[in-house]
Structure 1
Amino acid sequence: MSESRPLSASTASGARPVEASERVVLLDALRGFALWGVFVSNSLMWLSGRAFMSPEAVSALSVPLLEQVVGAVYQLFVTQKFVSIFSFLFGLGFSIQLARAEARGDSAVPLYSRRLLVLFGIGLAHALLLWTGDILHTYAMVGFLLMAFRARANRTVLFWALGLVTVMPFLVPAVIRYTPVLLHGAEAAAEAAKASRAKDLALKADTLVALSSESFWTAQAGNARFFLENMGGGFRRVLWMSLILGRFLLGLLAGRLLLLQDVARHRALLRRILAWGLGVGLVLNGSGLVLYRLRKAGVLEWDPQGPWMMLLNSLQEPGYIAMGAAYVAAFALLFQRERWRRWLGVLTPVGRMALTNYLTQSAVSIWIYDGWGLGFIGKLPPSRIVVISGLVFAAQVVFSHLWLSRFRFGPAEWLWRSLTYGKAQPMRRPAGDRDAPGVAAS
């Protein structure tokens, strides 16, 4: 069973990176599982170029029945679920670091602030030099907001978490839609919205052309331009950061309650989360998927920018959270069974090297899809994109096992820790350390 470990004497003497033997294996395995889903989602929507294509071009790649099934499965079971888990684990990790700092009698703020600043730099470099869809710099910025809740009561944390993931999806879109109407009138607001959409489509089209170029420099310049053009984001950026903070807070609360560090004690609660999460998630996201399909087929007709569509979109976020929670609960419960633990534990090294694997996914994918590489951008249907992402991830599983059999950290994790602590961390595993990366003490 994966349970929290007591702090060693060396831990209490001062801040340092966590050793493999002190980690909670379940959390690393779950992080690896989440990274797989995030990669599939990123590949389908962004890395493959679909997010930059016109609706007509996207539809042309999804005509066969197989592609429609893959698209529906993705929308119902993948989209936003795994990034929710990843964000949840970020908040849970913060709670563990707080507990460790308190055990040492230290403040977690200075060290965690340095961690976030380094993460922001890594994320910014990732977005500008590799892939515009980076999430790390946003995590770092929201992480500073998360620290404001470190001393808040559990009830307060829960109140804010539920408010951010349920109220903000309604509030922000309403502000975006109706504030211009109140200030400038309906006609002027409609014209402004139309102009904004046209500008966004033009930017995406230009970016697709750049990414399709056979010149590496042209492709990466287009990638950086798209990131810089969207870095502000206005109210939409506020919504996205609010949702991430809400997920962080749910993780913070789970960490305080030792929900995943002591699964045996919370087995009944996890079963309820599994049942309710699946039920609510399938109802909210499933009904949304059905209504979208009916509108696309012409059975239902309503303005895509109208209030009913805004309401439907707003209901999706609570569904994402519910479904993601169900996945976490199911994973944790299965991990308590010996046979399942052996299978799911294969993902543990991937989770321990999540930063390295996340960055590597971007580097490999732009070579696969962009014009200077294999040139598949905008050309592949969903089923082939899923297969490619699965093969890349399988290679990462093998690489992670091999790497951690010799080294203590992944390359990016080593850099992150070394910059955080202000000195190079020992990289090689100590002689005689036989603690296999997939079965580190739980």
Structure 2
Amino acid sequence: METGARVVTLDILRGVAVMGILAMNIIGFSMPEPAYSNPAAYGGSTGLDLAAWTFNFIFVDGRMRGLFSFLFGASLLLVIDRAEAKGEDPGAVHFRRMAWLLLFGLLHFWLIWWGDILAHYAMIGLVAFAFRHQPAGKLALYGIGFIAIETALMALTGARFIEAARDAASSETGSQAILRWEAMRSQLGPLPPAELDADLALHRGPYLPLVIDRLHNSTSLVNSLTFVGPETLGYMLMGMAGLKSGFLTGAWEAARYRRWATIGFAVATPSFGILAVLIIRSGFDPALVAALSLGATTPLRPIMIVALAALIILISGHGRAWSGLIAAVGRAAFTNYLATSMVMTTFFYGYGFGLYGRMGRAEVYLPVLAMWLLILVWSKLWLDHFRYGPLEWLWRSLARGAFQPMRRA
């Protein structure tokens, strides 16, 4: 998100990622949390609703967040390299940026939406700094290593769900095993009626109780470090490798991008398709959802992320009008990410239009399309006159301790 000599491919990829993230976050904005992983939990699991879940499961879920993490790592390294080139202290520059990003993330979490990722990025970004001098090959290997750790963690989580379901099935009514499974099942399955009613009432109600609830659940920010922290760090290191190797800057020959995209999609797409079929055939059994959507997808995601990046770079000729629009979205990704949260929570929550839990899974993509159009139009118009998006300018000014020039010369 830092500017200087723009790397256009990074902007285009970042624009695709921030728009794609909304395609999954919309479920978190519009309905109870278990619906994110399990359409049978809420929002509909037949017809167009099932089609929407299936498409997102195969092509979107985790891939856009992963691509955004790749680009965060690349941008982080760009800022460090530019600070060193100017004779500045790269550590001071980096840690100031991460400190301010952490504050932005906390405010986003507490005041706007529980699904914030900025605070998580800031904390993982502090660790990623230690790898800045590693060559591209080693960065890629470290990234694969952290994703292997994440795969093991998710596999253990899936196994824990399957074991709990099995124990409950063989236990007597009212036993501890059944109570344990009911508590776990509600994380990835339909909420018990009382919990569902409470969730709907909270999100359809006034603003202050939502803030209080998020303050009470602040520990989830720390929990995310252990739950998805290794994966996020792995993605950031892969992004740093992608920058150093020229992959993310568009420096490779077209045939090489074509080869990586072809192989990646050939491996990942049918694999995700098989997992989707297994989950659907199970009737979206929460234990199987945990085992397959958490554990089995983790090693496949980076394969498709790389394939997606290669494909986007391959087709994003710099002279095309749509590339310029998406690049503008990417240049203002910080602003667009937070603006999306403000618009969508206002649209769905009780202090706004109160549509939380009232739309089906397929229906919620109508406001997604409207938001995409909005950010495509405003980003280009704004950046035709200004150097940065509004929040990019604020973050840059705060991190540097001085107001940065805003208007274009």
- TM, length-normalised to structure 2: 0.86
- Of 85, 89, 95 in structure 1, the residue corresponding to residue 77 of structure 2 is 95
SS of 2:408's partner is coil
- Of 60, 65, 84 in structure 1, the residue corresponding to residue 47 of structure 2 is 65
User: CA offsets per residue over residues 101-153 of structure 1, 9 Å max, x none?
Assistant: 34334442110111000000000000000001000000000001101111224
- Of 371, 376, 379 in structure 1, the residue corresponding to residue 358 of structure 2 is 379
Report percent identity of matched pairs.
28
- Residue 78 of structure 1, CA deviation: 1.3
- Of 413, 427, 436 in structure 1, the residue corresponding to residue 392 of structure 2 is 413
More off after superposition, 56-65 vs 85-94: 56-65
Paired residues for 1:354-365 under 5 Å? 354-365=333-344
Contact kept in structure 1, 2:387 and 2:407, CA below 8 Å: yes
Mark the CA change 1:112 to 1:59 in structure 2 (over 3 Å): closer, same or farther.
closer
User: CA offsets per residue over residues 291-326 of structure 1, 9 Å max, x none?
Assistant: 1011118xxxxx8547x9636732201222222211
How many residue pairs are counted as aligned between the two chains? 394
Contact kept in structure 1, 2:149 and 2:230, CA below 8 Å: no
Gaps of 5+ in 1: 1-16, 298-302, 431-442
- Residue 197 of structure 1, CA deviation: 2.6
- Equivalent residue number for residue 16 of structure 2: 33
- Residue 248 of structure 1, CA deviation: 0.3
- Of 422, 428, 441 in structure 1, the residue corresponding to residue 401 of structure 2 is 422
Mark the CA change 1:203 to 1:155 in structure 2 (over 3 Å): closer, same or farther.
farther
Mark the CA change 1:176 to 1:317 in structure 2 (over 3 Å): closer, same or farther.
closer
Q: What is the identity, as a one-letter code, of the residue corresponding to 2:70?
A: F
- Equivalent residue number for residue 231 of structure 1: 221
Mark the CA change 1:367 to 1:335 in structure 2 (over 3 Å): closer, same or farther.
same
Aligned pair 1:243/2:231, yes or no? Answer: yes
Q: What is the identity, as a one-letter code, of the residue corresponding to 2:240?
A: L
- Of 18, 23, 27 in structure 1, the residue corresponding to residue 3 of structure 2 is 18
- Residue 260 of structure 1, CA deviation: 2.7
- Residue 159 of structure 1, CA deviation: 1.9
User: CA offsets per residue over residues 189-244 of structure 1, 9 Å max, x none?
Assistant: 9468437537865777644321111x22233333443x4252332xx641301110
Contact kept in structure 2, 1:284 and 1:315, CA below 8 Å: no
- Structure 2 distance, partners of 1:189, 1:158, is 45
Mark the CA change 1:427 to 1:312 in structure 2 (over 3 Å): closer, same or farther.
closer
Contact kept in structure 1, 2:39 and 2:50, CA below 8 Å: no
Contact kept in structure 2, 1:28 and 1:349, CA below 8 Å: yes
- Structure 1 distance, partners of 2:35, 2:138, is 43
Paired residues for 1:140-289 under 5 Å? 140-171=122-153, 173-174=155-156, 190=177, 193-194=180-181, 196-197=183-184, 206-213=198-205, 215-225=206-216, 227-233=217-223, 237-263=225-251, 265-289=252-276
- Equivalent residue number for residue 98 of structure 2: 116
SS of 2:23's partner is helix
Contact kept in structure 2, 1:282 and 1:319, CA below 8 Å: no
- Residue 58 of structure 1, CA deviation: 4.8
SS of 1:116's partner is helix
Gaps of 5+ in 2: none
User: CA offsets per residue over residues 275-294 of structure 1, 9 Å max, x none?
Assistant: 12101211321111011011
- Equivalent residue number for residue 393 of structure 1: 372
- Equivalent residue number for residue 5 of structure 1: none
Contact kept in structure 1, 2:110 and 2:214, CA below 8 Å: yes
- Equivalent residue number for residue 403 of structure 1: 382
- Structure 2 distance, partners of 1:157, 1:205, is 47
SS of 1:384's partner is coil
- Structure 2 distance, partners of 1:114, 1:203, is 41
Find the structure with the greater CA-based Rg.
Answer: 1
User: CA offsets per residue over residues 234-277 of structure 1, 9 Å max, x none?
Assistant: xx6413011100110110001111223243x3433322220121
Contact kept in structure 1, 2:24 and 2:60, CA below 8 Å: yes
